[in-house]
Structure 1
């Protein structure tokens, strides 16, 4: 494959058997493919997600027995959630998230107590109370994720020889679930496996990789959009089994509060240590049915 690198002074051509694009969701590969009239099918949802983060020093509290607290919104009524996490140097990072453009970045920056007031909008006041006497260590940082997007490279006909995509370059998942880097690791392991066992041409290996990555992403994408579609204002292609998936996911979530084994299984699936079918073991299904019958 031929790559053209340009700056203000010169242009250089590089030749390679394999080019791996890991430059993320803003990758210029998509623009380049469009100019080459190569159509890339996409699945995308407009989620209007805003992240606001700030670092704090908390006053000493011997009763503080946690390292991280997570407050997740209960859709569709609640759109704002947040976390407070202990990091190095005995400091804490607080991140507030809001779906559907709920959070106004301008208001947070304009007011001195803008971030603190934002934490008051959370469904629970735990983080707000922790910050009442805290010392800010930096200014709030704002990051926006307007869309989640999955570029179906596996369905592209006539994809350029020698080009391989990984990470957010293929699929930008909802970062609230913290799965982006785990997906990238699974993709890297898939690539290693294919290259180590390579008995075909490089281009056939690349095609095989993109198809394998699609199989990795598919269940994770379905898991994420199951939750995102709890907001009626979010539109897009909905799987026919969405209502059943949302009902079962809700039961698992509620059951995980009551049963440690269900919680452990739930966390393993969310962190991609186990496949989603791990939550459909007979024992867990039985616990779900018993919970329904009792209540």
Structure 2
């Protein structure tokens, strides 16, 4: 990794300060003398949901691969998360997961995963980023337009607007990183600049979920730290879960496909949980006190933008996070996907820096290729679940039927070793091909 006095470039500007933006800024700080993060929300000084991150009211899981990236970029951050109240659970013993109509079998030696509210995790991460000397924030500021050089080949500046006063400024940089999330206008901007726009894969699941915080009863004895009940598609449509979070609370979620949406009044919310295929979630939380409101979210559209296919793209610009791909948030991949994309950015910055090429001119194409490899896995996992329902709109992959059949066989297996390997794949700790080894195939299909 480059050291400060070897940094070749003066300035990078990151649009958006969600997980993707914060992680990208940390990576950029090793290669640029100055990194500026532009965020339209006010600076959050407490672990509370913010306007620009509506998923802050719902369950957020830090998958194992994401946890490893955070610790790599911010040594000691796991200890800070625990001090702030993050809860841990060991997969295979503390976590009970019902999929494909069966409970995953318990096993020993599982990975440890972290649970906490999104606002708390984001605040811990934001504070670590704020402590990096060459990173600064512009809060209450939105970016409105990237500007091209005279020969229309490179982004050289961005127009920033103060949210409260409307005052505009023009900010120059060597590299611009777009991480403004699902609401990004990068497609419109590319079109306005005369560049081709990426092909989009779109999946529209008829899906919604409702979540709330509940106080853990004082006399509660933990049997499982976390329980997740997924429906057996397509005959079952309802799902539910509880996970431990900071402050001795549970985050509890109810979800439904095919218009079978969970309600937001306490009595109806609990009745919905009671109707799940298994009683574990309802029996655990039925006597707990709800804290605050029950918040609902209808997920209308999953979008993956195939930037890797573009033959022409402005120099000095890259895009990552939900601005590239937003799958169903219920499956908890977003933070980890952003973390893996940040590592891809680091890899490409390092390769280009060593080669002597220009980072602004050489970064986009290889970076988008690496992002595509990450998303090939995460996208298939998420939309594969959505496509199990006939009401889901979109083009099913040609391999959908075969993949679904195999995945259902794996999830329905009673073999602890298969379950352990499946968890590792779902947490991006190992590739899906690990489920195709002779040992795993034997245990999945032949061993009884």
Q: Note whether the superposition's TM-score is higher than 0.5.
A: yes
Alpha-carbon spacing, 1:112–1:240, altered in 2? closer, same or farther (3 Å)? closer
Shift of 1:58: 3.4
| Structure with more helix by fraction | 1
User: Equivalent of 2:437, from 276, 281, 284?
Assistant: 281
Q: Does 1:17 align with 2:171?
A: no
Report 1:110-125 matches (<5 A).
111-125=265-279
Unaligned 5+ residue runs, structure 1? none
The answer to whether the 8 Å contact 1:179/1:272 transfers is no
Q: Provide the residue aligned with 1:241 in structure 2.
A: 399
CA displacement 1:10-61 (0-9 Å, x = unmatched)? 2211111111111111112223223335322100100133221111123344
- Could you tell me how far apart the structure 1 residues matched to 2:220 and 2:275 are? 27
The answer to whether the 8 Å contact 1:45/1:235 transfers is yes
The answer to whether the 8 Å contact 1:58/1:130 transfers is no
Secondary structure (helix, strand or coil) at the match of 2:208 reads strand
The answer to whether the 8 Å contact 1:58/1:133 transfers is no
Q: Provide the residue aligned with 1:31 in structure 2.
A: 188
Report 1:77-116 matches (<5 A).
77-103=235-261, 108-109=263-264, 111-116=265-270
| Structure with more strand by fraction | 2
The answer to whether the 8 Å contact 1:80/1:102 transfers is yes
- Could you tell me how far apart the structure 2 residues matched to 1:60 and 1:10 are? 52
Q: Provide the residue aligned with 1:179 in structure 2.
A: 333
User: Equivalent of 1:5, from 160, 167, 179?
Assistant: 160
CA displacement 1:155-187 (0-9 Å, x = unmatched)? 223322211111111011222221111111111
Q: CA RMSD, aligned part only? A: 1.9
TM-score in terms of structure 1 length: 0.90
- Could you tell me how far apart the structure 2 residues matched to 1:261 and 1:146 are? 36
TM-score in terms of structure 2 length: 0.61
The answer to whether the 8 Å contact 2:303/2:325 transfers is yes
Relative to structure 2, which stretch is displaced further, 32-41 or 276-285?
Answer: 32-41
Alpha-carbon spacing, 1:112–1:211, altered in 2? closer, same or farther (3 Å)? closer
Q: Provide the residue aligned with 2:416 in structure 1.
A: 260
- Count of residue pairs brought into register by the alignment: 286
CA displacement 1:167-208 (0-9 Å, x = unmatched)? 111011222221111111111111111111212332222211
- Could you tell me how far apart the structure 2 residues matched to 1:159 and 1:97 are? 39
